[in-house]
Copies of this chain bind each other. A is one copy, B any other.
Amino acid sequence: LTAQVTSSLARTGNGYPRMKLSYQELLAFQGVKRYEMDQSCCFDTMLLDEERGRLFVGAKNYLLSLSLDNISKQQHMIYWPAPVDWREECNWAGKDINTDCVNYVKVLHHYNRTHLYACGTGAFHPTCAFVEVGQKMEDRVFRIDPNKVEDGKGKSPYDPKHQAASVLIGDELYSGVATDLMGRDFTIFRSLGHRNSIRTEQHDSRWLNEPKFNSAFWVPESENPDDDKIFFFFRETAVEGQGLGKSTYSRIGQLCRNDVGGQRSLVNKWTSFLKTRLICSVPGSDGSDTYFDELRDVFLLQTRDRKNPLVYTIFSTSSSVFKGSAVCIYTMNDIRRAFLGPFAHKEGPNYQWVPFQGKVPYPRPGMCPSKTFGSFESTKQFPDDVIQFARHHPLMYNPVYPLNRRPVFVRTNAEHSFTQIAVDRVAAADGQYDVMFIGTDVGSVLKVISVPKESWKNMEELLLEELQVFKDASPIINMQISSKRQQLYVGSETGLAQVPLHRCSSYGKACAECCLA
C-alpha cells in the first residue's frame, strides 16, 4: 500500500490533493446527499444512532430524525419553538426577535433506551426536554414529552452564539457552559440524576477564565468505574500570559465521575478539577516555536483499549495577520502524565507561575476516591488540606505536547481554515491507517491519510481529496462519522450533507487504490 501511495504522491505533487471535486462534480458522482430546510438553519448539533439507523439533529426551532442511510429520506421532525412570552421578553432586552429570540438546540444526547435528552437556548431562556424515540427503529416515535420539559440553566447556553460542551453519562449531564444571561459566569456543571448538582469554583480566574468550551468526553482510567474521568476541552484567556496583551491558551480539564464535592470547603464544587495547557506548535530551529493556540475541534478515536483513545484535535492561529490551521494528536498517556506532574503555583500577585515544590497533601488532588489508589470512599472524606490545595491549584505546570511534538498536518496561507475533524481507522494488508476528514470554514472537506515514510515511526501526511460538500461555502460546524456505514455527516449553517467516506468508483479498479480513495 505504502509504495502505491508514494508513487501516487509523486504523480500529483506535494500539497495538492490527489482529487479535488467541486460541489457539482460531487453531485454528479452521486457522492453527496443533501438535507435542507427553508424554515430552519444552524445544524450544529448531531447525534448518531447506529442501532436505530437514525441521525438526530438539533437546529433552529427544530429537532430532526433522519435516516443514516440517506439523510434526504424518511425524515421526522419536531417543531420546538420558544414560547411567545419568552421571545417577547428576550426582544424587550434588546435582542433580535428572529435571530436571537428563538430556540436553538445546542445539546442532544442519548438518555436511555427510549429517550433522548435535548436542550435549547429558548430565546435566552435555556430549556431542556426528554425526547421519546421508541425502543426500536420500527417504532417511528419522535416526540417531546410535554410533562418533562425543564429549566436548561447550566446545560444550554443562553446566547445562540455560544457553544455548550456536554456529555451525558448514566443519568447525569456534565456541561461546560455560561450559566447566566450576560454570559459571564462560566462553569463546568453536573446536573440531572439524583446527586446534588456540582460545579466549578465561581469568580476564580485560576479555575476558568473566559472559557470557550469545545467538547467533553468520558474516559475510563482503570477497570474500576470509580476511577472514571470526564475530560473537557476548551480554550480560555491564559492567566499565565503576563505582560503585554491577551493570550488564548487551549486546555484539557479533568474531573472524577464520583466527585461529590468537599465537606467543609468546596461544598458542591469539584474537588478533582485539574486543567493544563494543550500545546500544538511547530518547533523552530532557534527555539522559537510557532503556536497554533486556538482549539477548534476534538475527535476521540477509540482503540481496542477503551482507556486509551487517541485524541485528534484541530487548532488555528490567533493572529489576524498569519492564518493557519493544524491537526495535533495527543495520547492519554501524555495527558495523564501532565496531570500527575507538578502543580502550577503562584505565591502572590508579583510572583510568576512556577512548579509547586512543596509537599502535596494526600490523597493527591486529581485522584478519584477509589480502592485502586487509596482508601477514601468519597471526596467528602478528603482531608481539609487536600481540599484547600485543590482549590488553589487547578492548573498544572506541565503542558501536554502532541505526539512527536509537532502537528501531523498543517495548512498555512490557505483560503480556508479547519473547523472540524473526524477520523476513520482503516485496516489494510500492511497495517492500519488513520484517515482524517477535516471540515473547513468554506464548506469543504479534506481527506488526509498518514502513511509511513520509511518506517511506521516516521509518518507522512498525504492530502487525498478536497470535496466541496456545500455549494454556498458556509463553514462546517459539525461532523459525525459512521465507520459502520462508511458515511460522513456534515452540518453547516445552511444545511446537512452526507458523503461516503470513499469514492472507489471514481478511481482505478485496483483494490489498494480503492482502499485509499
Given contacts A244-B399, A350-B352, A350-B354, contact A290 B324 (CB under 8 A): no
A412 and B289 contacting across the interface, CB-CB below 8 Å: no
List the B residue with the shortest CB-CB distance to A285.
B320
A287: Cβ under 8 A from any B Cβ: yes
Q: In the complex the two chains form, is B324's CB within 8 Å of A322's CB?
A: yes
Binds B, one of A245-253, A432-440, A504-512: A245-253
Q: For A352, list chain B residues within 8 Å (CB).
A: 242, 350-352
> Mask for A302-326, Cβ within 8 A of B = 1, else 0?
0000000000000001111110100
- Known contacts: A347-B350, A352-B350. The answer to whether A321 contacts B288 by CB under 8 A is no
List which A241-266 residues lie within 8 A (CB) of chain B: 242-248
Complex CA distance for A35 and B214, rounded to whole angstroms: 61
Given contacts A240-B243, A288-B245, A289-B245, contact A282 B321 (CB under 8 A): yes
A26 to chain B, nearest CB (A): 29
Cβ of A431 within 8 Å of any chain B Cβ, yes or no, is no
Copies in the complex: 2
**A interface residue count range (under 10 / 10 to 19 / 20 to 34 / 35 or more):** 35 or more
Report whether A324 and B321 are in contact in the complex, using a CB–CB cutoff of 8 Å: yes
Q: Which residues of A, 375-412, contact B by the 8 Å Cβ criterion?
A: 399, 410, 412
CA distance A243 to B287 in the complex (A): 12
A413 within 8 A of B: yes
| Residue A38 CB within 8 A of the other chain | no
- On chain B, the residues within 8 Å of A240 by CB distance are 243
Query: A358 at interface (Cβ–Cβ under 8 A)?
Result: no
Contacts of A412 in B (CB 8 A): 321-322
In the assembled complex, the CB of A333 is this many whole angstroms from the nearest CB of chain B, namely: 20
> A279: shortest Cβ distance to chain B, in Å?
8
A286 at the interface (CB under 8 A from B): yes
Residues of the B chain whose Cβ atoms lie less than 8 Å from the Cβ of A321: 282, 290, 322, 324, 410, 412
Q: Across the interface, which residues of B come within 8 angstroms of A142, CB to CB?
A: none
Question: In the complex, A369→B242 CA distance in Å?
Answer: 35
Q: In the complex, what's the smallest C-beta–C-beta distance from A105 to chain B, in angstroms?
A: 28
CB distance from A71 to the nearest CB of B (A): 36
B248 and A318 contact, CB distance less than 8 A: no
Contacts of A86 in B (CB 8 A): none
A381 to B: closest C-beta gap in Å = 33
Cα–Cα, bound, A321→B287 (Å):
13
1/0 contact trace for A275-297 toward B, CB 8 Å? 00001001111111110010000
Question: Can you list 30 A-B contacts (CB < 8 A)?
Answer: A242-B242, A242-B352, A244-B279, A244-B399, A245-B287, A245-B289, A246-B286, A246-B287, A246-B288, A247-B288, A248-B288, A282-B320, A282-B321, A284-B318, A284-B319, A284-B320, A285-B320, A286-B318, A288-B293, A288-B318, A288-B320, A290-B321, A290-B322, A319-B322, A321-B324, A321-B410, A322-B322, A350-B354, A351-B352, A352-B352
Closest 6 A/B residue pairs (Cβ)? A246-B287, A322-B322, A352-B352, A290-B321, A288-B318, A290-B319
A contacts, CB < 8 Å to B: 240, 242-248, 279, 282-290, 293, 317-322, 324, 347, 350-354, 399, 410, 412-413
